[in-house]
Amino acid sequence: MFTFSLPAKIISGENCIAEHSKELSTLGKKAFIVTGKNSAKINGSLRDIEKALEQEHIPYLLFDQVTSNPTIDLARKAAQIARDQHIDFIIGIGGGSPLDCAKAIAVLATNEVDDHQLFSGPYSQPFLPVAAVPTTAGTGSEVTQYSILSNKHLETKTSIANPGIFPKVAFLDARYTLKLPNHVTIHTAVDALSHAMEGYLSVQATDFSNIFAEKSLALLGECLPLLNEEPTLAIREKLLHASMLAGIVIAHTGTTAVHSIGYSLTYFRDIDHGRANGLLLAEYLHFLNGAYSNKIQAILRTLQLKTIKEFSSLMDQLLGEKEEIALSEITRYSNKAAQAANIQNTLIRPTEQDIANMLKHSLTFIS
Protein backbone atom coordinates (compact mmCIF):
# COMPACT_ATOMS: atom_id res chain seq x y z
CA MET A 1 0.00 0.00 0.00
CA PHE A 2 1.22 3.55 -0.64
CA THR A 3 -0.06 7.07 -1.05
CA PHE A 4 1.18 9.55 -3.59
CA SER A 5 0.35 13.21 -3.36
CA LEU A 6 1.70 16.17 -5.29
CA PRO A 7 0.02 19.25 -3.82
CA ALA A 8 2.28 21.88 -5.43
CA LYS A 9 1.07 23.13 -8.79
CA ILE A 10 4.18 23.21 -10.98
CA ILE A 11 4.36 25.84 -13.70
CA SER A 12 7.48 25.58 -15.80
CA GLY A 13 8.87 27.48 -18.77
CA GLU A 14 10.38 30.75 -19.91
CA ASN A 15 8.39 33.73 -18.64
CA CYS A 16 6.03 31.49 -16.65
CA ILE A 17 5.54 34.02 -13.82
CA ALA A 18 4.29 36.77 -16.15
CA GLU A 19 2.05 34.36 -18.03
CA HIS A 20 0.53 32.92 -14.86
CA SER A 21 0.40 35.99 -12.61
CA LYS A 22 -3.24 35.20 -11.78
CA GLU A 23 -2.04 32.24 -9.70
CA LEU A 24 -0.77 34.77 -7.17
CA SER A 25 -4.14 36.39 -6.69
CA THR A 26 -5.56 33.03 -5.56
CA LEU A 27 -3.13 33.00 -2.61
CA GLY A 28 -4.05 36.20 -0.78
CA LYS A 29 -4.25 39.98 -0.73
CA LYS A 30 -0.88 41.06 0.65
CA ALA A 31 2.39 39.32 -0.19
CA PHE A 32 5.66 38.93 1.71
CA ILE A 33 8.53 38.28 -0.70
CA VAL A 34 11.38 36.37 0.95
CA THR A 35 14.81 36.32 -0.73
CA GLY A 36 18.53 36.13 -0.11
CA LYS A 37 20.60 39.31 -0.01
CA ASN A 38 21.58 39.68 -3.67
CA SER A 39 20.89 37.04 -6.28
CA ALA A 40 17.12 37.54 -6.70
CA LYS A 41 17.74 41.21 -7.53
CA ILE A 42 20.25 40.28 -10.21
CA ASN A 43 18.78 37.21 -11.94
CA GLY A 44 15.41 38.74 -12.88
CA SER A 45 13.25 36.60 -10.57
CA LEU A 46 12.41 39.37 -8.08
CA ARG A 47 11.58 41.83 -10.86
CA ASP A 48 9.26 39.27 -12.52
CA ILE A 49 7.43 38.58 -9.23
CA GLU A 50 7.09 42.31 -8.47
CA LYS A 51 5.68 42.95 -11.94
CA ALA A 52 3.23 40.05 -11.61
CA LEU A 53 2.04 41.36 -8.23
CA GLU A 54 1.60 44.85 -9.66
CA GLN A 55 -0.32 43.37 -12.59
CA GLU A 56 -2.66 41.67 -10.09
CA HIS A 57 -2.86 44.82 -7.87
CA ILE A 58 -1.43 42.94 -4.89
CA PRO A 59 0.58 45.06 -2.43
CA TYR A 60 3.80 43.48 -1.16
CA LEU A 61 6.73 43.81 1.20
CA LEU A 62 10.26 42.52 0.63
CA PHE A 63 12.35 40.65 3.20
CA ASP A 64 15.80 40.20 1.61
CA GLN A 65 17.88 39.12 4.61
CA VAL A 66 17.95 35.34 4.25
CA THR A 67 21.42 33.86 4.65
CA SER A 68 22.49 30.34 3.66
CA ASN A 69 21.33 27.64 6.09
CA PRO A 70 18.85 30.00 7.79
CA THR A 71 18.37 29.91 11.55
CA ILE A 72 15.21 29.71 13.62
CA ASP A 73 15.85 33.25 14.90
CA LEU A 74 15.96 34.65 11.38
CA ALA A 75 12.63 33.02 10.51
CA ARG A 76 11.15 34.40 13.73
CA LYS A 77 12.35 37.93 12.93
CA ALA A 78 10.76 37.79 9.48
CA ALA A 79 7.55 36.22 10.81
CA GLN A 80 7.18 39.11 13.28
CA ILE A 81 7.32 41.58 10.38
CA ALA A 82 4.78 39.47 8.44
CA ARG A 83 2.42 39.57 11.45
CA ASP A 84 2.87 43.30 12.06
CA GLN A 85 2.20 44.05 8.39
CA HIS A 86 -0.88 41.78 8.12
CA ILE A 87 0.68 39.68 5.39
CA ASP A 88 -1.52 36.84 4.17
CA PHE A 89 0.77 34.92 1.81
CA ILE A 90 4.48 34.35 1.26
CA ILE A 91 6.55 34.14 -1.92
CA GLY A 92 9.97 32.53 -1.49
CA ILE A 93 12.51 33.30 -4.21
CA GLY A 94 15.98 31.79 -4.24
CA GLY A 95 17.90 28.71 -3.41
CA GLY A 96 16.77 26.27 -0.74
CA SER A 97 17.64 28.74 2.01
CA PRO A 98 15.08 31.46 1.15
CA LEU A 99 12.50 28.83 0.13
CA ASP A 100 12.85 26.98 3.44
CA CYS A 101 12.83 30.24 5.36
CA ALA A 102 9.63 31.28 3.53
CA LYS A 103 7.97 28.04 4.68
CA ALA A 104 9.08 28.51 8.30
CA ILE A 105 7.75 32.09 8.22
CA ALA A 106 4.44 30.70 6.95
CA VAL A 107 4.24 28.57 10.10
CA LEU A 108 5.48 31.20 12.54
CA ALA A 109 3.35 34.05 11.21
CA THR A 110 0.21 32.33 12.47
CA ASN A 111 1.45 30.16 15.34
CA GLU A 112 2.94 30.99 18.75
CA VAL A 113 5.30 28.05 19.17
CA ASP A 114 8.59 27.62 21.00
CA ASP A 115 11.71 26.36 19.22
CA HIS A 116 10.91 22.74 20.03
CA GLN A 117 7.26 22.92 19.05
CA LEU A 118 8.18 24.63 15.77
CA PHE A 119 9.46 21.28 14.50
CA SER A 120 7.08 18.90 16.22
CA GLY A 121 3.77 20.76 16.42
CA PRO A 122 1.00 20.78 17.38
CA TYR A 123 0.07 23.97 15.56
CA SER A 124 -3.18 25.68 16.47
CA GLN A 125 -3.58 27.76 13.30
CA PRO A 126 -3.36 27.01 9.56
CA PHE A 127 -0.15 28.27 7.92
CA LEU A 128 0.03 31.09 5.40
CA PRO A 129 0.08 29.89 1.76
CA VAL A 130 3.48 29.84 0.05
CA ALA A 131 4.53 30.27 -3.59
CA ALA A 132 8.07 29.24 -4.54
CA VAL A 133 10.48 30.38 -7.23
CA PRO A 134 13.65 28.25 -7.19
CA THR A 135 16.76 29.99 -8.50
CA THR A 136 19.16 27.12 -7.80
CA ALA A 137 18.61 23.64 -9.22
CA GLY A 138 19.15 21.27 -6.35
CA THR A 139 17.03 21.29 -3.23
CA GLY A 140 13.60 20.70 -4.78
CA SER A 141 12.22 22.70 -1.84
CA GLU A 142 9.58 24.17 -4.18
CA VAL A 143 7.81 20.78 -4.13
CA THR A 144 8.52 19.46 -0.63
CA GLN A 145 6.85 19.72 2.78
CA TYR A 146 10.20 20.35 4.46
CA SER A 147 11.77 23.48 5.88
CA ILE A 148 15.28 22.86 7.16
CA LEU A 149 16.65 25.30 9.71
CA SER A 150 19.94 25.57 11.59
CA ASN A 151 19.08 24.64 15.15
CA LYS A 152 21.48 25.95 17.81
CA HIS A 153 19.82 23.91 20.57
CA LEU A 154 20.63 20.59 18.89
CA GLU A 155 23.72 21.87 17.03
CA THR A 156 22.48 20.51 13.71
CA LYS A 157 19.96 21.20 10.97
CA THR A 158 16.40 20.25 11.86
CA SER A 159 13.36 19.82 9.59
CA ILE A 160 9.83 21.01 9.89
CA ALA A 161 8.05 18.26 7.95
CA ASN A 162 4.40 19.15 7.53
CA PRO A 163 2.02 18.92 4.54
CA GLY A 164 0.79 22.43 5.40
CA ILE A 165 4.05 23.96 4.08
CA PHE A 166 3.96 22.42 0.61
CA PRO A 167 4.13 25.44 -1.68
CA LYS A 168 0.77 25.93 -3.40
CA VAL A 169 2.49 26.89 -6.62
CA ALA A 170 6.06 26.59 -7.92
CA PHE A 171 7.29 28.69 -10.86
CA LEU A 172 10.25 27.10 -12.66
CA ASP A 173 12.05 29.43 -15.07
CA ALA A 174 15.56 28.19 -15.78
CA ARG A 175 16.69 31.62 -16.99
CA TYR A 176 17.05 32.65 -13.33
CA THR A 177 19.76 29.99 -12.89
CA LEU A 178 21.88 31.13 -15.87
CA LYS A 179 24.37 33.16 -13.84
CA LEU A 180 24.84 30.72 -10.95
CA PRO A 181 28.52 30.52 -9.97
CA ASN A 182 30.01 27.20 -11.12
CA HIS A 183 30.51 25.83 -7.60
CA VAL A 184 26.86 26.56 -6.69
CA THR A 185 25.67 24.88 -9.92
CA ILE A 186 27.71 21.79 -9.09
CA HIS A 187 26.90 21.59 -5.38
CA THR A 188 23.18 22.05 -5.95
CA ALA A 189 23.07 19.54 -8.85
CA VAL A 190 24.82 17.04 -6.58
CA ASP A 191 22.15 17.73 -3.92
CA ALA A 192 19.47 16.78 -6.46
CA LEU A 193 21.50 13.66 -7.29
CA SER A 194 21.66 12.81 -3.62
CA HIS A 195 17.88 13.20 -3.28
CA ALA A 196 17.18 10.95 -6.27
CA MET A 197 19.68 8.30 -5.12
CA GLU A 198 18.69 8.36 -1.45
CA GLY A 199 15.01 8.33 -2.38
CA TYR A 200 15.59 5.27 -4.57
CA LEU A 201 17.45 3.62 -1.70
CA SER A 202 14.98 4.63 1.04
CA VAL A 203 12.90 2.12 2.98
CA GLN A 204 9.97 4.32 1.97
CA ALA A 205 10.61 4.08 -1.78
CA THR A 206 7.70 2.85 -3.90
CA ASP A 207 7.38 1.91 -7.58
CA PHE A 208 5.75 5.32 -7.97
CA SER A 209 8.46 7.41 -6.29
CA ASN A 210 11.04 5.40 -8.27
CA ILE A 211 9.54 6.63 -11.55
CA PHE A 212 10.45 10.18 -10.50
CA ALA A 213 13.85 9.11 -9.15
CA GLU A 214 14.73 7.31 -12.39
CA LYS A 215 13.77 10.28 -14.57
CA SER A 216 15.74 12.62 -12.33
CA LEU A 217 18.78 10.31 -12.43
CA ALA A 218 18.57 10.02 -16.22
CA LEU A 219 18.57 13.83 -16.60
CA LEU A 220 21.44 14.18 -14.12
CA GLY A 221 23.38 11.43 -15.88
CA GLU A 222 23.22 13.56 -19.03
CA CYS A 223 24.10 16.84 -17.33
CA LEU A 224 26.60 16.11 -14.54
CA PRO A 225 29.58 15.18 -16.75
CA LEU A 226 29.17 18.55 -18.54
CA LEU A 227 29.18 20.79 -15.48
CA ASN A 228 32.83 21.74 -15.44
CA GLU A 229 31.89 24.05 -18.35
CA GLU A 230 29.29 26.83 -18.39
CA PRO A 231 25.90 25.10 -18.91
CA THR A 232 23.57 26.17 -21.73
CA LEU A 233 19.96 27.19 -21.03
CA ALA A 234 18.83 23.73 -22.23
CA ILE A 235 21.10 22.06 -19.66
CA ARG A 236 19.96 24.52 -16.97
CA GLU A 237 16.36 23.55 -17.69
CA LYS A 238 17.17 19.84 -17.40
CA LEU A 239 18.91 20.47 -14.07
CA LEU A 240 15.93 22.44 -12.76
CA HIS A 241 13.55 19.65 -13.77
CA ALA A 242 15.84 16.97 -12.32
CA SER A 243 15.91 18.91 -9.04
CA MET A 244 12.11 19.29 -8.96
CA LEU A 245 11.62 15.57 -9.75
CA ALA A 246 14.06 14.60 -7.00
CA GLY A 247 12.18 16.93 -4.63
CA ILE A 248 8.98 14.98 -5.41
CA VAL A 249 10.93 11.82 -4.58
CA ILE A 250 12.09 12.93 -1.12
CA ALA A 251 8.67 14.39 -0.38
CA HIS A 252 7.56 10.73 -0.39
CA THR A 253 10.63 8.82 0.76
CA GLY A 254 12.48 11.26 3.02
CA THR A 255 16.25 11.50 2.84
CA THR A 256 18.56 8.92 4.42
CA ALA A 257 21.96 8.53 6.12
CA VAL A 258 23.78 10.76 3.62
CA HIS A 259 21.74 13.80 4.65
CA SER A 260 21.91 12.83 8.34
CA ILE A 261 25.71 12.85 8.18
CA GLY A 262 25.97 15.80 5.81
CA TYR A 263 24.13 18.08 8.25
CA SER A 264 27.14 18.06 10.62
CA LEU A 265 29.53 18.88 7.77
CA THR A 266 27.38 21.92 7.02
CA TYR A 267 26.61 22.93 10.61
CA PHE A 268 30.13 22.64 12.03
CA ARG A 269 32.31 23.02 8.94
CA ASP A 270 30.21 25.32 6.74
CA ILE A 271 30.48 22.91 3.80
CA ASP A 272 27.70 23.65 1.26
CA HIS A 273 24.72 21.32 1.75
CA GLY A 274 24.92 19.63 -1.66
CA ARG A 275 28.69 19.30 -1.49
CA ALA A 276 28.45 17.69 1.96
CA ASN A 277 26.14 15.03 0.52
CA GLY A 278 28.22 14.56 -2.62
CA LEU A 279 31.38 13.89 -0.63
CA LEU A 280 29.60 10.99 1.11
CA LEU A 281 27.71 9.36 -1.75
CA ALA A 282 30.33 6.92 -3.07
CA GLU A 283 31.03 5.48 0.40
CA TYR A 284 27.30 5.21 0.98
CA LEU A 285 26.99 3.10 -2.17
CA HIS A 286 29.84 0.87 -0.97
CA PHE A 287 28.08 0.52 2.39
CA LEU A 288 24.83 -0.72 0.79
CA ASN A 289 26.35 -2.60 -2.13
CA GLY A 290 26.68 -6.00 -0.42
CA ALA A 291 22.96 -6.35 0.26
CA TYR A 292 21.48 -4.09 -2.42
CA SER A 293 23.78 -4.39 -5.42
CA ASN A 294 20.81 -4.77 -7.81
CA LYS A 295 19.40 -1.38 -6.78
CA ILE A 296 22.82 0.24 -6.97
CA GLN A 297 23.46 -1.25 -10.41
CA ALA A 298 20.11 0.20 -11.54
CA ILE A 299 21.10 3.66 -10.29
CA LEU A 300 24.51 3.46 -12.00
CA ARG A 301 22.97 2.28 -15.29
CA THR A 302 20.48 5.15 -15.24
CA LEU A 303 23.35 7.57 -14.69
CA GLN A 304 25.13 5.92 -17.67
CA LEU A 305 27.89 4.62 -15.41
CA LYS A 306 29.14 1.07 -14.88
CA THR A 307 30.77 0.86 -11.47
CA ILE A 308 30.90 2.64 -8.10
CA LYS A 309 34.50 3.48 -9.00
CA GLU A 310 33.28 5.37 -12.10
CA PHE A 311 30.72 7.13 -9.90
CA SER A 312 33.42 8.06 -7.44
CA SER A 313 35.59 9.50 -10.24
CA LEU A 314 32.66 11.63 -11.44
CA MET A 315 32.20 13.00 -7.92
CA ASP A 316 35.95 13.70 -7.67
CA GLN A 317 35.86 15.52 -11.02
CA LEU A 318 32.95 17.68 -9.83
CA LEU A 319 33.91 18.28 -6.21
CA GLY A 320 37.69 18.64 -6.48
CA GLU A 321 39.94 18.48 -3.45
CA LYS A 322 38.26 17.05 -0.35
CA GLU A 323 38.24 18.72 3.05
CA GLU A 324 40.29 17.33 5.93
CA ILE A 325 38.61 15.69 8.90
CA ALA A 326 40.04 14.79 12.29
CA LEU A 327 39.14 11.84 14.52
CA SER A 328 37.47 14.10 17.12
CA GLU A 329 35.19 15.51 14.42
CA ILE A 330 34.35 12.06 13.10
CA THR A 331 33.34 10.92 16.60
CA ARG A 332 31.17 13.98 17.19
CA TYR A 333 29.44 13.90 13.79
CA SER A 334 28.82 10.14 13.89
CA ASN A 335 27.09 10.51 17.22
CA LYS A 336 24.86 13.33 15.90
CA ALA A 337 24.01 11.49 12.66
CA ALA A 338 23.06 8.30 14.49
CA GLN A 339 20.35 10.30 16.31
CA ALA A 340 18.96 12.10 13.22
CA ALA A 341 15.36 11.31 12.30
CA ASN A 342 16.05 10.64 8.61
CA ILE A 343 18.67 7.93 9.24
CA GLN A 344 15.76 5.57 9.89
CA ASN A 345 14.94 5.65 6.18
CA THR A 346 18.25 3.99 5.27
CA LEU A 347 17.95 0.41 3.89
CA ILE A 348 20.54 -0.82 6.38
CA ARG A 349 20.63 1.39 9.43
CA PRO A 350 24.30 2.29 9.94
CA THR A 351 25.84 2.07 13.41
CA GLU A 352 27.95 4.93 14.75
CA GLN A 353 31.00 2.92 13.71
CA ASP A 354 29.63 2.52 10.15
CA ILE A 355 29.06 6.28 9.99
CA ALA A 356 32.56 6.94 11.31
CA ASN A 357 33.99 4.68 8.58
CA MET A 358 31.99 6.48 5.88
CA LEU A 359 33.25 9.86 7.11
CA LYS A 360 36.84 8.67 7.39
CA HIS A 361 36.88 7.37 3.81
CA SER A 362 34.85 10.22 2.30
CA LEU A 363 37.08 13.10 3.44
CA THR A 364 40.83 13.45 3.91
CA PHE A 365 41.46 11.84 7.29
CA ILE A 366 44.04 13.51 9.54
CA SER A 367 44.72 11.57 12.73
For 140, the enclosing helix (H) or strand (E) is none
CA 160 distance to own-chain centroid = 13
Which residue's CB is nearer to Zn ion, number 191 or number 272?
191
Contacts of 24 (CB under 8 A, 6+ apart): 31, 52, 53, 56, 58, 91, 131, 169
**Among the residue ranges 38-46, 213-221, 317-325, 357-365, the one whose residues contact ligand NAP (CB under 6 A):** 38-46
Going residue by residue from 182 to 221, which x/- string records binding to Zn ion, judged by CB under 5 A?
Answer: ---------x------------------------------
166 binds ligand NAP (CB under 6 A): no
Q: 200 in helix, strand or coil?
A: helix
Figure out which of the listed residues 43, 156, 264, 302 binds ligand NAP, where binding follows CB under 6 A. Answer: 43
Strand-pair category, 169-172 with 364-366: unpaired
Are the C-beta atoms of 278 and 193 separated by less than 8 Å? yes
* Closest separation in Å from C-beta 310 to ligand NAP: 25
What's the burial of 57, exposed, middle or buried (CB within 10 Å: 0-12/13-18/19+)?
A: exposed
Measured at CB, which residue is nearest to Zn ion?
191
**Among the residue ranges 10-18, 32-40, 333-341, 357-365, the one whose residues contact ligand NAP (CB under 6 A):** 32-40
Site for ligand NAP in 301-360 (CB under 6 A): none
176 binds, among Zn ion, ligand NAP, none (CB under 5 to 8 A by kind): ligand NAP
146 binds, among Zn ion, ligand NAP, none (CB under 5 to 8 A by kind): ligand NAP
* Closest separation in Å from C-beta 345 to ligand NAP: 14
Q: List the helix and strand counts (H, then E) for the chain.
A: 15, 10
* Closest separation in Å from C-beta 282 to ligand NAP: 20
Site for ligand NAP in 110-139 (CB under 6 A): 135-136, 138-139
* Closest separation in Å from C-beta 295 to ligand NAP: 22
Figure out which of the listed residues 127, 176, 212, 333 binds ligand NAP, where binding follows CB under 6 A. Answer: 176
In one-letter notation, the amino acid at residue 306 is: K
The Cα–Cα gap between 258 and 319 comes to 16
97 binds ligand NAP (CB under 6 A): yes
User: For residue 66, what are the β-bridge partners?
Assistant: 36
* Closest separation in Å from C-beta 175 to ligand NAP: 9
Contacts of 173 (CB under 8 A, 6+ apart): 12, 13, 14, 15, 16, 17, 45, 48, 133
Q: Angle 190-176-22 (CA atoms, 0-180°, nearest 5)?
A: 120
In one-letter notation, the amino acid at residue 308 is: I
Count the alpha carbons within 13 Å of 12 in the hemisphere toward its beta carbon: 16
Figure out which of the listed residues 75, 118, 131, 148 binds ligand NAP, where binding follows CB under 6 A. Answer: 148
Figure out which of the listed residues 87, 184, 201, 315 binds ligand NAP, where binding follows CB under 6 A. Answer: 184
Count the site residues for ligand NAP by CB under 6 A.
33
Radius of gyration of the chain measured on its C-alpha atoms: 20
Which residue's CB is nearer to Zn ion, number 110 or number 260?
260
Are the C-beta atoms of 80 and 158 separated by less than 8 Å? no
256 binds ligand NAP (CB under 6 A): no
**Among the residue ranges 109-117, 172-180, 212-220, 355-363, the one whose residues contact ligand NAP (CB under 6 A):** 172-180
Residues of the shown chain interacting with Zn ion in the complex, contacts defined by CB under 5 A: 191
Q: Which positions lie near ligand NAP, rule CB under 6 A?
A: 36-40, 43, 68-69, 94-97, 100, 135-136, 138-141, 144, 146-148, 157, 176-177, 179-180, 184, 188, 191, 273-274
